[in-house]
Structure 1
Amino acid sequence: MKLTIERSALLDALSHVQNIVERRTTIPILSNVLLEARKGELRLTATDLDIEAIDSAEAKVSREGAVTAPAGTLFDVVRKLPSGAEVQIEMNPETQRLSLTAGRSQFELPTLPAADFQTMSSDEGSVQFSLGARDLARLIDKTRFAISTEETRYYLNGVYLHAAKNDAGKPVLRSVATDGHRLALAELKAPKGSEKLTGVIVPRKTVNEIRRLIDGREDDVAVEVSDTKIIVRAGRAVLTSKLIDGSFPDYARVIPKGNDKKLTVDNKAFEAAVDRVSTVSAERSRSVKMSLSEGRLTLAVNHAETGAGNEEIEAEYASDPMEIGFNAKYLLDIAGQIEADEAEFMFNDPASPALVLDPSDESARYVLMPLRV
């Protein structure tokens, strides 16, 4: 194998695949990236056997071939090469090492045979559709923060993506994530072909890799979903992942319908106040008490060991006075998703979940379970 490739093109392709690689693995070849030199391009593949990422870049190929090399080391070497450099890559069959040369810089990396590299089998997707990269990024950003990290409840360790109907009866593509303490929901007008998507759970790592893959893109992204896999194609890059085999809970049951006590606050002021007050909250519970009265919201923390703090901010509230507690981190996570100047909280009573709305985005909803205060 022998080729010449522009450094930035190689770096872009490597950056799309190398994050898939697990740094600690008992299977040495899974630490490697597969390099395949063929007609006019270098194709790169990385996998952890649950996710597979493929990308390619234009290259001047003098001799076709394939080999695997350490993904992390290769990425670091290319990243540190001078911008605009031409990189010559050549496999030495005698030493079984991969040579990289750029100007006066020369490196040799160990290799493993391409024949030993395991690639994922591809299922024929039963549902195929395209949507804007920005739209897909929004579905991810509005929900992924609520993905559970509790491995025993594996069916919550991802984003639930499915076709649904909104309150107006219109078909939408909806993403939902929950960890049992909070829930985030976002939706958009159903892209053509997505109406048949019955529901799949996309794993956390895959969600993050898809988001990284489409970051900054303005074009459309193709999505293909089968019973066991999801495939996302963005430009030359292809990401294939297994889905979580489990049943996502009936999330609609926990979304409050009758909350009639409305609190409206300046979102930035609220976010800053919660951040300040929670400085003295107990690290484990991070409980913040919200005291609501007419035209006023008081945030308070009182802990025997870590101290006490409170702050009062202006608010629109015209219902009966009420005290309710929430995890400060959860409040901050949701405040970070609100795009409007104001955030709306809908309450029922101190023991019932609260609904948080973004006045500028009717297609996103957040649910928060209260804490005892």
Structure 2
Amino acid sequence: MHKFYPLTIINSNAQPNAIIWTLDVPEELAEEFTFIPGQHLTFKAEVNGEELRRSYSICSSQRRKGQLDVLIKTVDDGRFSNAALSQFPVGSQIMVMPPSGHFVVEPAEGKDYVAFAAGSGITPVMGMIYAVLEQTKTARFTLFYGNSKTSDVLLHDEIAHLKDLFGSRFSVHYFLSRQKVDMPLYQGRFDAEKVSVLVRQMLNGVAIDGFYVCGPGAMIDTVCEALKDLGIAPELIHNERFLSDGQEISVADKTIKEDAGVTVTIDGANHEFNLLAGTQATLLESAEQAGVELPYSCKAGVCATCRCKLVEGDVKMINNYSLEEWETKAGYILSCQAVPRSSTIHISFDE
């Protein structure tokens, strides 16, 4: 479940400041790479002598058997994204972990879904849109999509195609922050006032079954708080943050306060190691030092690839940008952000 597998890049499609990889999934791995719309893949590659891991969301339809699309946004200082353009031509193989993530939708007939996306935040949402429209006959999807300019809009052709096919059930609204538009409502970034207008006017009287918010952290905070202020139940609001390739979030205060014995359950096996008080390490880092390989990608509390369940003991979570409230209440933690705070710790990646 937590292994990496070699997949072949069979197509590469340019997007505005981005690239879409199409990966071939051989029949013997079809079950391993079955995904829920909204999930992501974690990639591992050696670039200039350094092992890099990055997570990218699946943006393709579940109807396409044996192929998965991921969109990689390129940035000037992005070590992985720049390598994706120059070092991995069509025909190359790359190591990929099976789909993971809990920012997902499971479509149902007669339901209404809404997404607020900004920039490359459209990527996981795209998978959700495909699923809602293709797998139901009556469910509806409304997309509010923000970008700087029209030339920056990612997956524009794919969105337009779905609009042509499912126009009565798919509503799309574009917002631009650095290009003048005719209607003031569609000018600028999402803020509390704009969200309020959209919900009260465009969604008035519609019982929304799920709000999905994805983009930069500040945008997510603004939209989610605005939705809550409008009286929308927190359990209907879902979000996923992303880090730009090369962006880092600092992890501080990692001191282990007392000696601890740690048990890690993964893929049906238990691994045990001891930690010494005064050590500066998270559970993920401690496991790596003990030779126990655990799943991870961003190491910043954003992607949730390292999500596991705290079976026994107590930990301190430094950052959490990916787990929802129900997950933390159920005992789930991020091993890349968890520091032991008891003498016995047991975490499981199998629950």
Normalising by structure 1, report the TM-score. 0.23
Identify the structure with the greater strand proportion.
1
Greater gyration radius: 1
Larger RCO (alpha carbons 8 Å, 6+ apart): 2
